[in-house]
Each structure stands twice: as structure tokens, then as C-alpha cells.
Structure 1
């Protein structure tokens, strides 16, 4: 998903999964009366106990009913948080619950001002329409759900903090980081060398493009552009994947072979063309393809992926913080804890994104080169 070269969620640019393609991309209680004859000193403990119980009930009510923190998707039990994954994501996910303990040695690396606040302020760039399965408003019409918000909740649980999701447009996602209103952006942000001038990164997912075919097709991309010879392949106009596909087309032409690149006005038209046999494959953001497959059963299948950064570098999606904010090490450690203890794999599987797994979260790994942006 090399979406970070565009701002349209469906065009494989930053919300690199896009489901809203561009012109060619197919691409969230009463007190008991006193008993006569009992001396006051005997009644006092009972009164104190009653007051204590009422106070506890009041505290619990305040936590449950209070706004702001993401209480709808995570409930704490001692030092373990039960995070509900994909709870209101509809066809985009297979809902599950993941238990995450607070890890003290990682929590200690979180800046004190964040710990004192008690919440982790997490930027999401899913306005106005969202981009399933990564970030979108759920079936309850209010909860921000998707792979990115749910990973945010898992990370906050490792820290022992309440996740506060700050949803904004793609452009304002970075404004929030710059202004300090968000501690971190977890919103399909691609690691690039240009962005490293202002931000620090902790990688957590591969930035991949994918090929979709009909479910009965046996064709596989296999990482080799020469397998595209003789095919009709749709792509979104003006996207990073179009640039890659046209480069392959030129190579094939120089070899005396042919790749027919097709364009359609919107996502539905592209998928209709694929199902009807007008095209052999669609090349687009891998998460968007996973979402389409999840909602249509065996109608379509994924025939292979390719790095959104191009042939020479595996593109990476990363948690993004303001440079030198002091949070990036804790983020990488939290992600690695989730990887090592299985919660990460469950999270990816829930959203059909297992083919974008990383073996380890890295701090500021090589990013999309300046010349590719």
C-alpha cells in the first residue's frame, strides 16, 4: 500500500488501503431504618460500610458512563485489559476479544506527562468517509473501528492507558501531531525518508499492494512482472500502483510482450468488470482487496502482493510520533510485545491482513526514498 503518495483513501496513498477509489481505483440506588436500642458506636461501622459501598458504585458509574476514553471497546480487569477487536466492523472482520496485560517495563518508558494524563491520545485520519478495513465508523454508527483503531487499543492496553481516538482528515492528522494534541498517529502512515525529517516511526505492518482475481482463477503474480504478459489489469488512475504497473507494461513491451492496463470510473465498476470477466485482475491496495474478499465470500481471491515502495524496498506502515517526543521506543516495545505473545497475529487475522505481518517493529527503518515520493 503505497498510499502515502496521495490523499484519497481509495487511491493507495496514505490511508493506503482505500476502498473509495479514485476515477480508476476499484479500488467505527436506599438506606435501612435505624434499629432502636443500638448504641451509636455499634451503628457507626454499618454507616461507614454503606457509605463506602455507595462511593464505590458512584466511581464505577462514573467510569462506565464517562465520555472521552474508549470504554466501549476495552474493559479493564485488574492489570489485564480485554480489548474487543472488530466488534462493530461488520463484514470487515471476524470479531474476537484479546487479553493484554499492562507491561510495567514498557509503561516506564512512556513520557511522564502522558502517564499523568492517563490517556493515550491517538490520531486517526479517517474523515470524512473512512477506509475499510483500516479505519471507519462501525455498524453502530458511532464507534471508530477497523484494524488501525484496534491496534491503537492494544498498544494503549500494554501501557495501562485509556485509548482516546482523535479522528480527523488525513491532512489534519499531521496537524494534530505537530500541535501536540495527538501523542501518536496510527492510521496507515507510510514510513518515508521525507517524513523522517519531522517524525519518528515504529513499524507495525507491511505497506503492500495486491492483485485480485476471480475466485476460480489459478493465476498467481509470484512477484514477477513477466507473469502479467497477455493479461488485462485494472488500476486506479494517478495512484502509486498505476506508476508501478505502467513501468511493468513498458518492460514487457520492450520484451515484445503485452500488458493491457484498464481504467474504470469507480470501485464498484472495477469489481463488476473483474467478476464479469472484462479484466483478468485488479492491482490495488492490499487491505482494500482483503476487505472486498471478506464481504463477497469466494467470488474473489488474492493472487499475490507487492511492496508499495517498489521492487527495491519493502514499504512499511508505522506508528508516527513527533520527532524526539520520547514515545517511539515505548511504541516499538509495545508492538514487539504483542508480536511475541500472539495478540498481533490474532489482530491481523481478524481483519484478513496476515499477509502484511512484520516479524519485528523497528524504530525509523529505511523508508520510501525521496525520489519515489
Structure 2
């Protein structure tokens, strides 16, 4: 897997990229016998499994002519929906299958059912995080479906159709005395691990400032770039908890069987945050994308994909076009 760019203010609000997460999770978990879908699986102690083979047997959807008719003529005539995916992601969002070549995960599954609804062939375009945005802006890709959070700054250049709520979760080891983290006072005096330059770091910094102003004990915030390092710190007791994107936390909880999630909050902290399909501003595609997501919600494929990757708690009731995004840095 290619190296992941260091998060910057420009990509805050997206999940913290974890360049080594896929390899770590494969090492942490046992490969079971081929599952019903075919191929290898990663399983937790309860028997829950994820198909990590290149033979994904993806959930498919039927075309909807009236929605396909909303697609701009140039894209419709090509017969393809070119979709950008960041290769710096972590399971279960975007990651490489056991062959180290096939990109799989929740985002590719969502892209497949959207393309199906639009009666287009899915044309995946794996790329780096930075080039994900450049590809959409330049028109090299029609849309990015890669855990992109809606922000007011991004709305200057792109249109968005939401398909998932953006949340982050606190993870602790099995047997931890910490039962719940849901508000600032809950992190007072704890050692919390986080990736630098992310929205979850901003949340912790705000919570710690609020606690200290209230006379509570400070939170020790520790920074990690490697998934291997922060999970080792968690297991060894050097961390009380890890704060990361809910999808990757849930995936690790399910597959490794050594930890538990004790609290989930908005990726914007006190502000709702949304994950959305991102297309070039005013290119005419966003309405079709939103309608395709809404149709998949109505006919059930959307929920099937969420359930397949244990992301049911991030479901949306409908797709929203260009909702209020996370505020600009200066706001």
C-alpha cells in the first residue's frame, strides 16, 4: 500500500489515514475458512467475519431509468462512472484485499450500488489522498467516494451528496475500568491516543481546555502515526483509550477481539459532520448521486452494505445535497 500523506488542516474532517492499518489488522486476526461469499475472512471470537479476498461478490442494485436520466450527457454517453478512492485508508473503508491489488471495503461497495442505480459501469481509480481532490477538480474522475467529510471550505470547489454520518469512537482494551466516554469530563486525567492534524485531535484539545478551565485534571494527549504503535500502547497500558474514526475502531473491535468501543461522538465534536460523495461543483452530477443513494436506501442495498462492514450506526435516512459543513478554520 502506498504511503499516506500526513494529515493537514486542508484535510481535517476526514478520517485519519492509517497507512499500516490493513497490514496490522491482517496480522492481528485469524484467517478463517472461506466464508459464504468465497475467499478468506477475518473473524472475531464471536464468528463475525469480513471477506478480505479479491472475490467480493459485491451487493448489486438494479438500474433506475429516471435516476440514470439525471446523469450529465457526457458521463452517460461514456457508460462509466469513474470513482476516486484514496489508497491511504484503513479497513473497512478502502483497503487492499489479500492479493494486495484489489481495492475493497465499504466505499467501493457504496460506489458499486450507486453506479448500478445510474446504469453505469463502475470504473475505480485508486489514488493518493491529495490527488483524490485534484482528480475531481480536474475532471479526471467523476466523483470521489472515499470517506470525505463535508466542509464549508470544500463546498467552494465541490458539490456533495451525503451517504454516511461522520463519527469517531473511543476504544479501550477488554477488561478496562472505563465503561463510557461521552463528554469532556470523562477524559479528565486519562491518557488518550490520537492521530495529529485530525478532527479527533481538535475534539480532544477542546475538551481538555474546557476541563482545565473547570478545574479538572488535564488529559494527556499522545500522538501516534502507526496503527501497530497505538494498539501496542493500548494493550500494554501506556494508553487508557484511543480516539479514532468509528469505522476503523469497529473493524478492529470485530476482528481482533481484544478491545471494545466505549463511546461514539460526532466527527465534528459538538457539530454534526457528514461523509459524502464529492463531485466537481456545478458539473450536474450531484443530484443523480443523491437520488441513487436515496433509491438504495429505499430498496435496501444501502443497509446491506452498511451491515456487511459493521457500520450500521452511521446510516443516514436520506442523502442531503450540500449540507452545512464543518466551519472554516477562521470561523
Alignment TM-score > 0.5, same fold: yes
Q: Which residue of 1 aligns with 2:305?
A: 347
The answer to whether structure 1 residue 289 and structure 2 residue 249 are counterparts is: yes
What is the distance in 2 between the residues matched to 1:291 and 1:156? Answer: 26
SS in 2 for 1:100: coil
Deviations 1:21-79 (A, max 9, x none): 89xxx99xxxxxxxxxxxxxxxxxxxxxxxxxxxxxxxxxxxxxxxxxxxxxxxxxxxx
Structure 1 contact 10–19 (Cα < 8 Å) conserved: no
Where do 1:221-260 residues align within 5 Å? 221=180, 223-260=182-219
Deviation at residue 314 of structure 1 after TM alignment: 0.8
Distance 1:279-1:86 versus aligned 2 partners, 3 A rule: farther
Structure 1 contact 17–134 (Cα < 8 Å) conserved: no
Deviation at residue 264 of structure 1 after TM alignment: 5.0
The answer to whether structure 1 residue 366 and structure 2 residue 324 are counterparts is: yes
1:94 to 25, 40, 50: 50
TM-score in terms of structure 2 length: 0.82
Where do 1:63-74 residues align within 5 Å? none
Deviations 1:101-154 (A, max 9, x none): 11111111111222221111111121xx54322112211222111111111111
Structure 2 gaps of 5+ residues are 26-35, 44-48, 52-56
1:328 to 275, 278, 286: 286
The answer to whether structure 1 residue 188 and structure 2 residue 147 are counterparts is: yes
Where do 1:75-224 residues align within 5 Å? 90-91=41-42, 94-95=50-51, 97-126=58-87, 129-217=88-176, 219-221=178-180, 223-224=182-183
Q: Which residue of 1 aligns with 2:233?
A: 273
Deviation at residue 222 of structure 1 after TM alignment: 5.3
The answer to whether structure 1 residue 18 and structure 2 residue 6 are counterparts is: no
What is the distance in 1 between the residues matched to 2:16 and 2:39? Answer: 19
Structure 1 contact 203–362 (Cα < 8 Å) conserved: yes
Deviation at residue 341 of structure 1 after TM alignment: 2.0
Distance 1:148-1:88 versus aligned 2 partners, 3 A rule: farther
What is the distance in 2 between the residues matched to 1:197 and 1:10? Answer: 18
Structure 1 contact 186–319 (Cα < 8 Å) conserved: yes
Structure 2 contact 187–219 (Cα < 8 Å) conserved: no
Distance 1:86-1:353 versus aligned 2 partners, 3 A rule: farther
Q: Which residue of 1 aligns with 2:28?
A: none
Deviations 1:74-98 (A, max 9, x none): xxxxxxxxxxx99778539634652
Structure 1 contact 200–320 (Cα < 8 Å) conserved: yes
Q: Which residue of 2 aligns with 1:31?
A: none
Deviation at residue 99 of structure 1 after TM alignment: 3.9
Deviation at residue 188 of structure 1 after TM alignment: 1.1
Q: Which residue of 2 aligns with 1:82?
A: none
Deviations 1:228-262 (A, max 9, x none): 23322222233332222122112212222214324
Structure 1 contact 120–162 (Cα < 8 Å) conserved: yes
What is the distance in 1 between the residues matched to 2:329 and 2:12? Answer: 16
What is the distance in 2 between the residues matched to 1:13 and 1:132? Answer: 19
What is the distance in 1 between the residues matched to 2:193 and 2:247? Answer: 17
SS in 2 for 1:187: coil
Structure 1 contact 21–236 (Cα < 8 Å) conserved: no
The structure number with the bigger radius of gyration is 1
Q: What count of residue pairs does the alignment treat as equivalent?
A: 304
Where do 1:310-325 residues align within 5 Å? 310-311=269-270, 313-325=271-283
Structure 2 contact 19–90 (Cα < 8 Å) conserved: yes
